[in-house]
Structures are given as C-alpha cells and as structure tokens.
Amino acid sequence: MSLAIYAREGLNAAIIMGAGDVIAQLAVEKKPLKECNLGRTARFSAVGFCFVGPALRRWYIKLDSLVAKEQPSFQRGVKKMAIDQTCFAPAFTLSLSYLVPFVNGEKHRDIVQGIRDEYFTIMKRSYMLWPLAQMINFSLIPMQYQVLYVQLIALIWNCYLSMVLNRQK
C-alpha cells in the first residue's frame, strides 16, 4: 500500500474531523465564532490525519480479506459489519478516547477516569449509528471509497465525539 494512499485517507479524515469539531463548537456548544478554539480543531484534525484515516484504511483492507468474496454482497456486508462492530469498533473507540484527550494535554490518570466514565456510553451511542452505516458501506460502497463514506457519516459522529472527548476548553 502506497504512502500516498494513507496520506490521502489521513487528509480526508483530518478535514472531516476538523469540520466536525468546528460544527460541535459553533452549532452544538453555541460558541461565538471568535471563541472557536482552533487549537482544539487542529489537534482533533491531527488525530484524524495521523491515526483515524490510516487505521481505517488498513482495517478495511484486512477486513476485506477476512470475508469470502464469492458471497452475495448483502451477506458479505452483514459479516463484515459484524466483524467490524465486534472486533474493531471497541478498540478503535478506546484508542480515540485516549488519544484525543492526550493530544489536548490531559494527564494520564484523568484520561483513564474519563474513559471509565464515558466509554460505555460512547459505545452504546456508536451502536445506534454505525451498524446500519457499515452495512451500507460494506454492501454498496466500492472499497476505494469506503473510508471516505465512513468519514462523511462520521461528520455527525465527530461532532458528538468532539464534545465528549475534548473535555478541556
């Protein structure tokens, strides 16, 4: 896999995560434009560039190899979604739950306490959105567009994650 593909996926994730953070600050948290925390947005975007985009790309390639291609697309999509939501989503969410506060300068013990307080709520809400989104992704979206599709759906999800994980103002 070429470095350019990972960079492209990282850039897509960075832009969409940054947009999600700005929307969270302006529309959900109701901050005036002049109070928008661009440092927070940059850090959230950096996590997208360095971690989210490349990790999703690598995972989708691996996931594609785990499920036989000879199956009907819906059946294959169900299997891929089930594997994704049971094997990848919990660990990926846990990673983000640590990384975002970490890049914001939170102390390890505070991050761990935040994870204890919020992780299961985040996962519960995740399962309200992602299984259906991933069924569509794995059944209908061509492989080369799957990360982009997920990131577009994640624009809404990132608003929520930004509010929950960016605990420091």
pLDDT value at residue 7: 86
Alpha carbon distance 79, 10 (integer Å): 26
Size of the chain in residues: 169
Per the CB < 8 A criterion, the answer to whether 42 and 25 are in contact is: no
pLDDT value at residue 156: 86
Helices 89-103 & 146-165, crossing angle to 10 degrees? 50
pLDDT value at residue 50: 94
Sequential pLDDT tens for the chain (169 residues): 578 888 888 998 899 999 989 998 998 889 999 999 999 999 999 999 999 999 998 999 999 999 999 999 899 999 999 999 999 999 999 999 999 999 999 999 999 999 999 999 999 999 999 999 999 999 999 988 887 888 789 888 888 887 787 765 4
For the chain, the maximum distance between any two Cα atoms, rounded to a whole number of angstroms, is: 54
pLDDT value at residue 168: 52
Residues in contact with 169: Cβ distance below 8 Å, sequence separation at least 6, in sequence order: 37
pLDDT value at residue 164: 82
pLDDT value at residue 1: 58
Alpha carbon distance 161, 96 (integer Å): 9
